[in-house]
Amino acid sequence: MKIATWNVNSIKARLPNVLEWLKDAAPDIALLQELKTVEDGFPFMEIEELGYNCAVAGQKSYNGVAVLSKHPLDVETKVLPGDDSDEQARYLEAFTNGVRVASIYLPNGNPAPGDKFDYKLAWMGRLVDHARELLALDEAVVLGGDYNVCPTDADVCDPAGWADDALCRPQSRARFREVLWLGYTEAYRILHPDTQRAWTFWDYQGGAWQNDNGVRIDHLLLSPHAADRLVACKIDREPRGKPRASDHTPIWCELSP
């Protein structure tokens, strides 16, 4: 079973690229982030024609997440528990093909320090709490998405230049480690512990893509039942080089039956 995650940075602007990638990569499950549209604006027809069932948590102009699956989908929740006042569409959890998956668009948090950084850390705290509850279900769980966190300096092209960014601040990294310490496995790093310059995001500015100056902020975190089935995890750089590309590129993992 192939499970992929991709921040598409506007499903409307990137639809031709997304459809091409779904045809070529053919993931069984795809977790999408930063849709930038309400649910009614999501291209259900085009994606369903490729054999996918779709679940969407949308928001006008900002955020938005989706789960696509070639198998029946049961939506568990469209909000991250812990704050009833939070109206940002950043979390969607579903059960499909024997696996519980979540599409996550974690807050960026910049500028830091500040209110946005405080919101990021609070959101991550809620994620830690919910991730702990999911482990109690004793299921295969995959928490995938744009975490907006570079786990270590090995995951950023210029550690000194990014040190004060919310993606690299010690508090962000500490909250990310909290999820791992619960018992989750970070799929890419466990299989590629020494790989350098393994980026999933390249800014549109400053020739970042052309000079391969990126960061690794898109992750797949696996519960023990899922990690036991992990056989592969790769970053698919090809979509980032397409015309009108998202500034992120997909990353996928493969689980054995």
> Binning pLDDT at 50, 70 and 90, where does residue 127 land?
very high
Look up the CATH number of the domain holding residue 131.
3.60.10.10
> For residues 231 and 255, what is the distance between their CA atoms, to the nearest angstrom?
6
CB 108 within 8 A of CB 124: no
CB 182 within 8 A of CB 131: yes
The mean pLDDT of the chain is 98
> Binning pLDDT at 50, 70 and 90, where does residue 131 land?
very high
Please count the residues of the chain. 257
pLDDT mean over 229-238: 98
Domain that holds residue 53: 2-255
Q: Count of domains in the chain?
A: 1
> Binning pLDDT at 50, 70 and 90, where does residue 65 land?
very high
**Is the model's pTM score more than 0.95?**
yes
Return the pLDDT at 12: 97
Return the pLDDT at 177: 98
Return the pLDDT at 19: 98
Name which of 210, 214, 205 is nearest 249 in CA terms.
214
| CB neighbour list of residue 45: distance below 8 Å, 6 or more residues apart | none
Q: Which amino acid is at 129?
A: D
Question: Tens of pLDDT along 209-229?
Answer: 999 999 999 999 999 999 999
Return the pLDDT at 217: 98
Return the pLDDT at 57: 98
Question: Tens of pLDDT along 148-170?
Answer: 999 999 999 999 999 999 999 99
Return the pLDDT at 128: 98
Return the pLDDT at 84: 95
Provide the 3-class DSSP secondary structure of residue 32.
Answer: strand
pLDDT mean over 42-59: 98
pLDDT mean over 124-130: 98
pLDDT mean over 111-139: 97
